[in-house]
């Protein structure tokens, strides 16, 4: 029941935001935006995405792009916590 309620709230939030942005924005998504989208994708697909690129199509509907990581960092999906986080880049990755 709780899962269904959360899903309804996420869908309602997306519907409210539809159509507000006519052009492509250079606005970056926040970690909050990414984690909301991750939760929605996880509920729809029944699995946590393995990569943040799986979220980009949904973010582009809102006119946002993935945030630019600072030097030495990259965005990843922490599948254990089911969160999008910045992590240190290790040599070879």
Of the pLDDT bands very low, low, confident and very high (cuts 50, 70, 90), residue 90 is confident
pLDDT at 21: 47
Q: Given a cut of 90, is residue 87 above it in pLDDT?
A: yes
Q: Specify whether the CB–CB gap between 77 and 51 falls below 8 A.
A: yes
What is the rounded average pLDDT of the residues 73-91? 92
User: In the chain, where are the structural domains located?
Assistant: 2-88
Write the DSSP symbol of residue 63: T
Torsion of CA 50, 56, 58, 63, to 10 degrees: 160
pLDDT at 14: 53
pLDDT at 10: 55
C-alpha–C-alpha distance, residues 5 and 17, integer Å: 19
pLDDT at 3: 60
Q: Given a cut of 50, is residue 76 above it in pLDDT?
A: yes
pLDDT, tens only, 13-59? 554 455 444 455 578 999 999 999 999 999 998 999 888 988 888 87
Q: Given a cut of 80, is residue 83 above it in pLDDT?
A: yes
């Amino acid at each position: 029941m709780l899962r269904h309620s959360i899903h309804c709230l996420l869908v309602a939030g997306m519907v409210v935001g539809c159509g507000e942005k006519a052009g492509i924005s250079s606005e970056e998504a926040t970690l909050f935006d990414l984690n909301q989208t991750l939760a929605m994708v996880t509920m729809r697909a029944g699995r946590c995405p393995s990569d943040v690129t799986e979220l980009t199509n949904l973010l582009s509907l809102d006119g946002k792009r993935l945030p630019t990581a600072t030097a030495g960092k990259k965005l990843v999906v922490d599948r254990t916590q089911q969160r999008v986080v910045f992590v240190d880049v290790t040599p070879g990755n």
